[in-house]
């Protein structure tokens, strides 16, 4: 817990009351992701800012959802053993059984705020995606219960107030996996990465709930993983809605209290 929520001394001001106290912050550190192909050649792919924890799942999810490696081709994930100190745990190498697709455009630095912006077009996503199935089909009551279920799983957020979360649910509203990160897309990659490492992709009949807004990168990552329903407590972007419409994905926004908006493919929601 200390790695993802370190303590720091702060001056707290509340009206006329001023005091020095210890506070927890959401940790943010760089993670370099490398790929070793079947020939033993290791190549750097990207550096992303993330909250430490579930690094192997983050690396696997990132590589799968960005189309660098094929699902099922991941043989081994490990921290680089040729490094020392803190850097050791900030570099992850994924070894694959099939060649990786690594172009110069992919060797970039990604912030925790957005994915690899501009390098993945909607047409490219459609090429990588298998057609989404009809599921999951959920009731209105199940949908309305997702935000509270996700919030209950945000343990580090309770300490810091500074992390996003993504949760994977079944059609009955059961929470299957929740991960937190300072970046929205990182939290999604971690959830998908857990499934990738378990060889459980595609995630048919599963729904994804995110704590922030639903941008294009979240929709495309969900579609690549085979997830047919994405819900958010906030607004989707116009490109996210366009992508969801073309990819056959149900996109729900402003899911809070007793209401929500359905932007695309409402046939997956009953009642």
Q: What domains does the chain contain, in order, with CATH numbers? A: 29-120 (no CATH), 138-270 (3.40.140.10)
Assess contact for 188 and 208: CB atoms under 8 A: yes
Assess contact for 185 and 237: CB atoms under 8 A: no
- pLDDT on residue 130: 72
Cα angle 149, 154, 159; round to 5? 145
- pLDDT on residue 116: 42
Cis (ω within 30 of 0) for the bond into 202? yes
- pLDDT on residue 178: 94
- pLDDT on residue 2: 45
**For residues 33 and 69, what is the distance between their CA atoms, to the nearest angstrom?**
12
80 is catalytic: no
- pLDDT on residue 133: 83
pLDDT in tens, the chain (271 residues): 346 677 777 767 777 887 887 877 777 888 999 999 999 999 999 998 898 899 999 999 999 998 899 989 999 999 987 765 556 788 999 999 999 988 654 444 454 444 444 334 456 666 567 778 888 999 999 999 999 999 887 776 555 556 889 999 999 999 999 999 988 899 999 999 999 999 999 999 999 999 988 988 899 999 999 999 999 999 998 888 988 989 999 999 999 998 999 999 999 999 7
Catalytic residue chosen out of the listed positions 114, 117, 129, 177: 114
Could you list the beta-strand ranges (E) of 38-187.
42-50, 74-79, 91-96, 108-110, 138-139, 164-169, 175-181
Residue 148: DSSP 8-state:
H
Name the packing angle between helices 216-224 and 238-247 (round to 10°): 20
């Amino acid at each position: 817990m200390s790695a993802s929520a370190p303590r720091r001394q702060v001056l707290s001001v509340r009206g006329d009351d001023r005091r020095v106290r210890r506070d927890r912050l959401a940790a943010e550190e760089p993670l370099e992701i490398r790929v070793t192909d079947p020939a033993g050649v290791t190549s750097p792919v990207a550096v992303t800012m993330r909250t430490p924890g579930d690094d192997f799942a983050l690396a696997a999810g990132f590589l799968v959802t960005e189309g660098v490696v094929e699902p099922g081709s991941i043989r081994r994930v490990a921290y680089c053993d040729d490094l020392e100190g803190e850097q050791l745990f900030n570099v992850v190498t994924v070894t694959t059984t099939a060649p990786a697709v690594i172009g110069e455009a992919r060797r970039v630095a990604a912030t925790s705020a957005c994915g690899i912006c501009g390098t993945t077009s909607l047409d490219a996503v459609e090429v990588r995606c298998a057609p989404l199935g009809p599921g999951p089909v959920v009731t209105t009551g199940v949908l309305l219960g997702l935000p509270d279920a996700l919030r209950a799983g945000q343990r580090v957020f309770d300490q810091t107030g500074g992390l996003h979360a993504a949760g994977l649910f079944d059609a009955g509203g059961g929470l299957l996996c929740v991960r937190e990160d300072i970046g929205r897309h990182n939290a999604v990659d971690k959830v998908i990465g857990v499934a990738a490492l378990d060889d459980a992709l595609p995630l048919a009949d599963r729904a994804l709930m995110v704590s922030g807004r639903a941008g294009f990168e979240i929709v495309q990552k969900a579609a690549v993983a085979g997830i047919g329903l994405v819900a958010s407590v906030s607004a989707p972007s116009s490109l996210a809605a366009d992508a969801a419409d073309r990819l056959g994905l149900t996109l729900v926004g402003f899911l809070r209290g007793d209401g929500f908006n359905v932007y695309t493919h409402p046939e997956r929601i009953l009642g």
